[in-house]
Amino acid sequence: MTREQYILATQQNSLPRTEHPQFYPVGIYGWRKRCLYFFVLLLLVTMIVNLAMTVWILKVMNFTVDGMGNLRVTKKGIRLEGISEFLLPLYVKEIHSRKDSPLVLQSDRNVTVNARNHMGQLTGQLTVGADAVEAQCKRFEVRASGGGKVLFSADEDEIVIGADRLKVTGTEGAVFGHSVETPHIRAEPSQDLKLESPTRSLVMEAPRGVQVNAAAGDLKATCRKELHLQSTEGEIFLNADTIRLGNLPVGSFSSSSSPSSSAPRQTIYELCVCPNGKLYLSPAGAGSTCQSSSNICLWS
């Protein structure tokens, strides 16, 4: 044994020894440990419930890589299949249906389509309700299938009908509150054309003339009071094989009336025709000029 080992051995033997050594525990014990386990268990239960709810929502909403349920997200936009309900306003740029099915917009009350400008102001509105279809805009147009010809247009100033023919099939016809401008009025084949004003007058005006033609029937003009034929600058020309004036009163002329008779003497005239077609009145009797070979046309 060396000297150093001996000194160390004697020093260790000389140190006092304790009978009961003290230990200091390291860690969480008691109620703290139980609370920690409880919080860990609660966190684990919460994570399991959240995971189960997420899986359930994904299954119910039919989430896929392309979209959700009937809603599919494509490169061209959003594709919606089946029946869908929108509880709040829908803002889209274009709405298209599939090529083999129509597009149906349905509502319990009405369907309203609004158009706004960049400032949010309302510029056009189309409302389809239970009682009426209303359109509010500056100009309303209905075009042909080709998209070129305007069939119907309406604005604040006028209403234009661009169809080749306007057909009214109602039993009461068409009622106009004011004037109507048209170059041609024609009835259907084998049908009568009737222009009537029940409580007011009916006026037909044209700067270059008004022509009334019945190609295969009669032309009748009936009135309750007077019928006036007036020409301010020209003449009234009646061209027919026979001109008949019916229901005219027939008078009698007697040359044997006594001068002393108290009854007023009534002068009776005859309606005569000149060779040029003009009419004049001539006193009836022996001196009548209607039978003369050289008739003189008198105008007063």
Please state, in angstroms and rounded to a whole number, the distance separating the CA atoms of residues 54 and 31.
35
- In degrees to the nearest 10, what's the CA dihedral of 2, 5, 8, 14? -80
Predicted pLDDT of residue 283: 72
Predicted pLDDT of residue 39: 94
Q: Which residue has the tokens 């298209």?
A: 96
**DSSP letters for 59-107:** HHTTB-SSEETTEEE-SSSEEE-S----SS----S-----TTS------
Query: Model's pTM, two decimal places?
Result: 0.42
Residue 237 contacts residue 243 (beta carbons within 8 Å): no
Mean pLDDT of the chain: 76
Please state, in angstroms and rounded to a whole number, the distance separating the CA atoms of residues 137 and 125.
7
More reliable by pLDDT, 171 or 294: 171
Predicted pLDDT of residue 12: 55
- Find all residues with CB under 8 Å of 132, minimum gap 6, and list them: none
Please state, in angstroms and rounded to a whole number, the distance separating the CA atoms of residues 58 and 74.
20
Is residue 126 over pLDDT 60? Answer: yes
Q: In the structure, what pLDDT confidence band is assigned to residue 46 with cuts at 50, 70 and 90?
A: very high
Q: In terms of residues, how long is the chain?
A: 300
More reliable by pLDDT, 242 or 125: 125
Planar angle of CA 206, 208, 212, nearest 5 degrees: 65
State the CB neighbour count (10 A cutoff) for residue 272.
Answer: 19
> Which residue, 184, 226, 219, is CA-closest to 201?
226
Tens of pLDDT, residues 77-96: 787 777 777 788 778 788 87
Residue 270 contacts residue 290 (beta carbons within 8 Å): yes
- Find all residues with CB under 8 Å of 270, minimum gap 6, and list them: 281, 282, 283, 284, 288, 290
Strands of the sheet with 150-154, listed across from one edge: 140-143, 150-154, 159-161
Predicted pLDDT of residue 219: 79
